[in-house]
Amino acid sequence: MDRRSFLQQSVSTVGALAASARVSEAQSVQIRHPAEVAKPNVIWLMADQWRGQALSCNGDPNARTPNLDNLSGLGVNFTSALSGFSLCCPFRGSLLAGRYPHHCVPGHEYPLPQGQETIAQPFKEAGYRTAYFGKWHLEGFKEREGRSALRVVPPGRRGGFETWVGYDNNNSQWDCWVHGGDGKEAFHYRLPGYETDELTNLLIKYVKEAGERAKAGNAEPFFAVLSVQPPHDPYVAPDQFLSRYQSTQLQLRPNVPANESVQETARRDLAGYYAMIENFDWNVGRVRSALEEAGLALNTHLIFFSDHGDMHGSHGLYRKTNPYEESIRIPFLVGGEIPRYHGRKSGRFPVVLNHVDIAPTTLGLCGIKQPSWMVGTDYSHYRLQKAAPASEPDSAYLQCVVPTGHAHSVNKPYRGVVTRDGWKYVCFAGVSWLMFNLNEDPFELVNLAHNSRHRAEREKLIGRLKQWIADTGDTFNVPSD
């Protein structure tokens, strides 16, 4: 072999060895950091009637939420997230279907439309296992016809989830019944303890089984939902949590009127409310520990939110269904133990994320395309290192399509809009009702809806509301001024 041939062969050999080394290096990186290449898991941690202000990290002096505060600190906190229809059934229909209530579930105890696809379908098509544990409230059972918790949601009405262990509705946290399965595999039983603890046990069992499959070389990504009734009334919790809250020591929000009856009721209810919140937070810690023990913590997104808030005496009102901040604002955190070097971001963002946006955002976290029947916005870029869309909604749409008849709240249809720059406008049919500058008046003490000085801003908000109604295919008699 002459000198030139020898040199050419040597160069080829060195190049091949270098290429081989690069392949080996890439393989070793994949082994060290499996979350870089594996499909991420997702868990929804959904509470009921938890207002967005009721987190320590969101400034509530009464709340003890160390695990959720940690989730916020290491993840993303959408500080302006809201429930566009602050009622269980409409929110849950929009959540799962990614459609607005007037096209899906327009009121209390209305069923999810027959054949309506849910977020479970695109996840399954992407190779995910799917599981749902807890409150459903989309079958349309009427409590006046018998206790909903004791009736069975048919297998074909469970949203397409592969594993489903839940109930339609239940307002007794110490007497919670769940069912699931089909045919000879069907079951229906009473949970042995407090609802949040027991449903969390079911999710933890599911996580452990996923971890065992992964360790055996049979890893499959999963999308799981934990949906609990607390801190929905009745405001009760295990004694070790209830004993930590004294009603007389709680701080009320400044918009709770100085009325003896209102303040007494608010304090009594809030003592149990915050006990339920601390219990839920404790269970979040249990879920995170289970993920760590199962070897899944580095590749699982945790998304915490609620279906709506709770007034607790603010403006002299209780519970939900109205457009005040305590009712519509919800917590919305996206976190998990996924290290920052994997391309995840953290921070607090005043994004007006609505109920129809949750499913698209969840799919976006996993790189799954949003189906055409989902109308919301994917906000996953706030958590992931990926390009933001060219534009995002400048506001969110508020609705009360079918009133509920619930006492101590607002029982008329309304429409409204909340803007990203801090304005809120709400109207009844043909007449303006509420208008607030939330930047200057966060507790909504000064109603500008009929203040002529703010006529120009009101006309602009009315125009934006009309556009939302047109864009969503809704109908409502919006006032001209």
The rounded radius of gyration (Å) of the Cα atoms in the chain is 25
pLDDT above 90 covers what percent of the chain? Answer: 85
Q: What count of Cα atoms within 13 Å lies in the side-chain half-sphere of residue 189? A: 9
* Segment holding 128, helix H or strand E: none
Q: Please name which of 365, 290, 298 lies closest in space to residue 35, comparing C-alpha atoms.
A: 298
Give the pLDDT mean for 129-149: 95
- Give per-residue pLDDT as tens, 184-239: 999 999 999 999 999 999 999 999 999 999 999 999 999 999 999 999 999 999 99
Q: Please name which of 226, 363, 221 lies closest in space to residue 288, comparing C-alpha atoms.
A: 226
Asked whether residue 39 carries a pLDDT value surpassing 60, the answer given is yes
* pLDDT at residue 10, rounded to an integer: 40
Give the pLDDT mean for 228-257: 97
* pLDDT at residue 16, rounded to an integer: 40
* pLDDT at residue 30, rounded to an integer: 34
Q: Which two tokens stand for residue 108?
A: 């209390």
Q: What are the φ/ψ torsions at residue 234 (nearest 5 degrees)?
A: -70, 145
Asked whether residue 174 carries a pLDDT value surpassing 50, the answer given is yes
pLDDT band at 38, cuts 50/70/90?
confident
Give the pLDDT mean for 36-56: 92
pLDDT band at 340, cuts 50/70/90?
low
When comparing pLDDT for 343 and 256, which is higher?
256
Answer whether 93's CB lies under 8 Å from 99's CB. yes
Task: Give whole-number Cα distances, 402 to 109, 311, 384, 406, in Å.
Answer: 11, 20, 37, 12
- Cross-strand partners of 396: 418
Q: Choose the weakest-confidence range: 3-12, 399-408, 457-466.
A: 3-12
**pTM over 0.85, yes/no:** yes
Q: What are the φ/ψ torsions at residue 460 (nearest 5 degrees)?
A: -65, -40
- Structural domains in the chain, CATH included, are 35-388 (3.40.720.10), 412-472 (3.30.1120)
- Give per-residue pLDDT as tens, 300-321: 999 999 999 999 999 999 999 9
* pLDDT at residue 328, rounded to an integer: 98
Task: Give whole-number Cα distances, 5 to 9, 17, 93, 350, in Å.
Answer: 6, 18, 72, 66
The DSSP secondary-structure symbol of 60 reads -
- Give per-residue pLDDT as tens, 53-87: 999 999 999 999 999 999 999 999 999 999 999 99
Give the pLDDT mean for 419-446: 97
* pLDDT at residue 407, rounded to an integer: 77
Q: Please name which of 108, 134, 121, 194 lies closest in space to residue 162, comparing C-alpha atoms.
A: 121
* pLDDT at residue 338, rounded to an integer: 66
Q: What mean pLDDT is reported for the chain?
A: 91
- Give per-residue pLDDT as tens, 111-125: 999 999 999 999 999
pLDDT band at 323, cuts 50/70/90?
very high
* pLDDT at residue 8, rounded to an integer: 43
The DSSP secondary-structure symbol of 192 reads S
